[in-house]
Amino acid sequence: MIGEPAQPGAKKYVLFDVDGTLIDAVDNQRRVWRVWAERYGLDPDEVYQVALRTRPMETFAHVVPNRDPRECLAALHDLEDEDVRSGVYSAFDGASELLDALPPGAWALVTSNYEHRVRGRFARTGLSVPDVIVDAASVEEGKPSPVPYLLAAKRLGAEPEDCLVIEDAPSGVQSGLRAGMTVWGVNAPVAVDGVHRHFGSLGEAVCHILAFASGTHPHQPKGSAAVE
């Protein structure tokens, strides 16, 4: 694991992934893909395993190569929008208090989903919404490209080395690392390769994230990493 690039003294910023990091949407995603797969006469479990590793258009190319991908995507989007309206969501423990405690203009959301769905889920779970949301429509290159996190930093007026990324998935971790940011992992039983710190849950990370945002978090020596 590589050392944290953040330097003390400058204003700090926190960039959050959404699904799997702030909001528990695993069951919802699995349900959406199951319904979608059944519509196309496919095995839901097999489709979901592909969907976990790839973006939707790549998933379609793999599981239904002879179907119009635009049609497939439209069907998926309809199901996802309906799930935002009627699905059951929950925020991870600590998410609400964490977002409410962060200074306005010092944090952002960086998601592979779309902003209207994020706002819908946040409304359903009572989470605060920041001024900056970088979604799938904001960039041509999604995670693991560094582009989404670099765009969020630019919109906040932040330097990458002053940003902390909170992620749960390998593609997001790689995106943050490639952007030259500090990356902490949460909500996973084992650390994702590359993270500077790992926490088994978001709740365990709250006080440390707030300390980073306030500039009081101790700088970690290069080449070291912490797992909690």
- Which residues are known catalytic residues? 17, 19
Distance (Å, rounded) from C-alpha 30 to C-alpha 149?
A: 26
HSE (side-chain half, CA atoms, 13 Å) at 117? 26
Contact assessment for residue 157 and residue 7, using Cβ atoms and an 8 Å cutoff: no
Q: Which of 146, 110, 154, 158 is nearest to 130 (CA)?
A: 110
Where helices occur in the chain by DSSP H, the ranges are 26-39, 44-53, 56-63, 69-86, 95-101, 115-125, 147-156, 170-178, 202-214
Structure tokens that stand for 14 in this block = 């926190």
Distance (Å, rounded) from C-alpha 221 to C-alpha 228?
A: 17
